[in-house]
Structure 1
């Protein structure tokens, strides 16, 4: 049988000779203090809200709700303006229409639309020799705007000669569902980019002529022979003047006085 004495409660050491009572008491005190601090840390931020804060918040909510319910004219402009006050009127009478000179509007929109063409004809309009014809200096671009516009709408099929080089035309229609504004913008852009300088600003009435030719021709792609009769054909309707303003969103002509 062992003679070692085992304390029943380690926090209450017995008084056998090897035990330093003062030291044991100090260790127990430190342990209790540490446990108390941990308990305080766990409970930090969980203190109950003061009853007075809850009462004050309730009063504010009741008063605010009653004001909103009883004040039918709370957000009424006329109810809160001083007597004799006159509201300022804007000269435009409403929202301003975003406008630009027709040539500038066409060039900006045409540049965005040309992304549909750049993969074949190149960003600089040079094309690919023997594969995709160039647009820079092309007689099919620098003549009448009817030619590039009809190519956009219908595409081209069969052999075609561009700047003295033969190509096998296999261009699909690109402008299906495009607006008149899109047709005019890209046609103008092609005729006035890559060194091309035609200058004539296509009018909505001229686009109407292009649409009429397209409708009469049907759904098939143009051959070089059919397209040739429109390559240098003049429009019956006049072009837009350089001073013409367009709504840059819709392409509609805007009266300068608006």
Structure 2
């Protein structure tokens, strides 16, 4: 006999999901009531690189900008994101949990306003700012938030065809060394490049850089190497150890999915 279906339970679950979606803006009304206070979200459109932008000549399409977000705004953004509906979050086994805004991450398709209605106003403002400030080539339509324990990391991988080749990572809390490896072969020896992610910074990888594998080691402290592209700008020499924040790390990943035709 086929198992019976609890229709009432399904209806209750659907109503709960609908309630979370319709109340998202209400949940976030208390955040950024006066907008962003110490972050410049617009520019004059001239496309001039920020003086805080650090070019990474060793990898085409890889760039890094310090202090992309203001300090007060970064604190408020973290509070707002961590207050998002529980249904947006998924726990992983490697000391990490992930929040999806704008649809389900495994899906490669973007459903327009159907997905965008999940975004509170402040996230949509940041998505527009990615283009206005020349960080991204086109406005993102999907956001992933990673909350790691202090030594948490992620295995080197490539996102492949899941997203457009234009990804930006905004770090809110903690530091971590992200490493880039060839798209194929074993992960041995030294990476092609690495970047020490700082709070309020943005790392962008496009084109060639997107097709590389990227990962973060599980460790209590990161070690700067000759391949760490922003080491000099941070006043660090190869061999320097940077302790991880005991409170862990929070990062926001801005990506773009293909639109449903």
TM norm structure 1? 0.26
TM norm structure 2? 0.26
Q: Which has the higher strand share?
A: 2
Structure with the larger RCO, 1 or 2 (CA within 8 Å, 6+ apart)? 2
